[in-house]
Amino acid sequence: MKTDTRASDLLAVLTSVSTEKQALDIAHALVQRRLAACVNVLPVARSIFRWKGRVQQDSEFLLLIKTLDVNFEAVRTAIKELNAYELPEIVGIPASKADAAFAAWVTDSSTGVPSDDDEDDEAGEATID
């Protein structure tokens, strides 16, 4: 793993979607494309918002995407491509502090370049060495 990663290189991107299927589709696409090291899918977020002049309320799935600052535009483009919302939430939050080993893993896993050596997705538990 690389050891020169700074926390300031890390970015947490938030987006929300209306269905679990769409959340999983976006999460898998970002990780498979190596645009993100990890995507947490958080269920049942209650959103209250103003849209087209009316206050609305809905249940959504919130995605917490761990990536690098240099990947933001590619992540944004992928979210816009895959998110059904007319105006998807896409918010990047820089990490001011992060564990060095975690930051190195995010860096190694978020190259933005898919590898032929990547294994197919497998459901289940994983460990990070």
**Residue 115 confidence (pLDDT):** 72
For all residues of the chain together, what is the average pLDDT? 88
Which of 9-13, 42-46, 113-117, 124-128 has the least mean pLDDT? 124-128
**Residue 105 confidence (pLDDT):** 95
Conformational region of residue 44, where left means phi above 0, alpha means psi within -120 to 50, and beta covers everything else: left
Q: 90-119 burial by CB neighbour count: b if 16+ within 10 A, else e? A: bebeebeebeeebbbbbbebbeeeeeeeee
- Which helix (H) or strand (E) is 11 found in, with range? strand 10-17
Domains of the chain: which residue ranges? 7-109
CATH class of the domain whose range is 7-109: alpha beta
